[in-house]
Structure 1
Amino acid sequence: MRGRAELLPGLAEVFREHGYEGASLSLISRATGLGKGSLYNLFPEGKAEMAACVLAEIDGWFEANLYAPLRAAERPAAAVSAMFDAVETYFRSGQRVCLVGVVALGSERDRFAGAVRCYFARWIAALAGALTRSGREPAASLALAEEVVAQIQGAIVLARALDEPAVFSRAMTALRIRVAAAG
């Protein structure tokens, strides 16, 4: 039998596509190739544990690929540029929804509020820190970081709603220009 870690990408896609409430055990079973008994063996607390594990996996990816590089960068401007590259790759240039955003807006928001809050707060703080180290005032850095994260999230939603990934790409280009001009 496959381990939990191997199942997380498939679980994430089910939650992305159907939301937490719509992610039935039948859909999860189909996506993972495991029966309900095997799923409960791996995730004794059921769907809530599956979603928590998926959110933790996403958090780990963002920590390794965005937050830590932004916090540790000797060249903050290069780290911010790399952040934009990583975001475009992760969200498949606007073709993949933000599961943390889906959870933040769904009925399960309160159940996962800590993980959702932490995801966004750490992203904003890491970006604001990099912007400050690149010579901006701390308050302006924080405001710009909030703007960038908000616009990325909005661009993901708009690109998906319009079924036009180019909306996301244009927004990312505009944000890169905005950040460069603010320096």
Structure 2
Amino acid sequence: MRPQKTNDTRLIEGLITVLQSRGFEGASLNDLAQAAGLQKASLYHRFPGGKQEIAITALRHVQAWIKDHIYLVLTRQDMAPEAKLDLVLQHIQERYQQGEKNCILNALSFDSGLTGIKNEISTSMQLWIDAFTALGTGQGLTTSQAGAKARQSLILVEGSLVLARGSGNTAYFHQALAELKKLYINT
């Protein structure tokens, strides 16, 4: 078997970058192939389901990132809540390049009528909410209270990314992360 010439993570991150900035409809197969470092024929070979399969693969990659960098951190028992939250906020800043990058969940939500995409977006958001709910219940909140805070955390981050992108001002993103921390940590 021939070895893969392109690292899968790098390939998928390249696809995510295009989908984040252009959405499903705006992303051409040429743009996606170029970002993945592949010829168009190789992109078709890897993703015979076309752009829809690419989008679903990208969303599943983001789900794995949310699980590894948010869920598994916030559900750890061997760290103080503030330390867990600080680490997660650092991961979020890195993922969205300090507020410079759009969120793929937002970018693809406009195309959520496509089979599978809506479910993948919903699964990703629920994983985020479950992670922050666990943080809240670990601090003694009821499941209902923790769930409300968890949804607020997602609204803060997603909303700030929209504001940052629309205004060209990443201060909204940083302000939202500070507000998110205040939701959970008494300062």
Q: TM-score w.r.t. structure 1 length?
A: 0.90
Change (3 A) 1:181 1:6: closer
Rounded Cα–Cα distance in structure 1 between residues aligned with 2:113 and 2:98? 25
Tell me if 1:49 matches 2:53. yes
* TM-align CA RMSD: 1.8
What residue number does 2:121 align with? 116
* Residue in structure 1 matching 2:102, options 82, 93, 97: 97
Deviations 1:142-165 (A, max 9, x none): 111111111111011101110001
Q: Which stretch of structure 1 is more off in the superposition, 151-160 or 21-30?
A: 21-30
What residue number does 2:77 align with? 73
What residue number does 1:85 align with? 90
Quote the offset at 1:175 in angstroms: 2.1
- The question of whether the paired residues in 2 share the 8 Å contact of 1:77 and 1:131 is answered with no
What residue number does 1:58 align with? 62
- The question of whether the paired residues in 2 share the 8 Å contact of 1:11 and 1:50 is answered with yes
Deviations 1:12-43 (A, max 9, x none): 11111111111111212232342221111111
- The question of whether the paired residues in 2 share the 8 Å contact of 1:97 and 1:157 is answered with yes
Rounded Cα–Cα distance in structure 1 between residues aligned with 2:87 and 2:36? 32
Tell me if 1:23 matches 2:34. no
Deviations 1:53-77 (A, max 9, x none): 1111111111111111212233333
Rounded Cα–Cα distance in structure 1 between residues aligned with 2:37 and 2:99? 28
Rounded Cα–Cα distance in structure 1 between residues aligned with 2:12 and 2:85? 28
Deviations 1:73-123 (A, max 9, x none): 33333212322221112111111111012112x124443111111111111
Quote the offset at 1:4 in angstroms: 4.2
Equivalent pairs, count: 181
- The question of whether the paired residues in 1 share the 8 Å contact of 2:99 and 2:173 is answered with yes
Rounded Cα–Cα distance in structure 1 between residues aligned with 2:45 and 2:52? 14
What residue number does 1:145 align with? 150
Q: How high is the sequence identity, in percent, across the aligned residues?
A: 26
Structure 1 residue runs of 5 or longer lacking an equivalent are: none
- The question of whether the paired residues in 1 share the 8 Å contact of 2:6 and 2:37 is answered with no
Q: TM-score w.r.t. structure 2 length?
A: 0.88
What residue number does 1:107 align with? 111
- The question of whether the paired residues in 2 share the 8 Å contact of 1:77 and 1:134 is answered with no
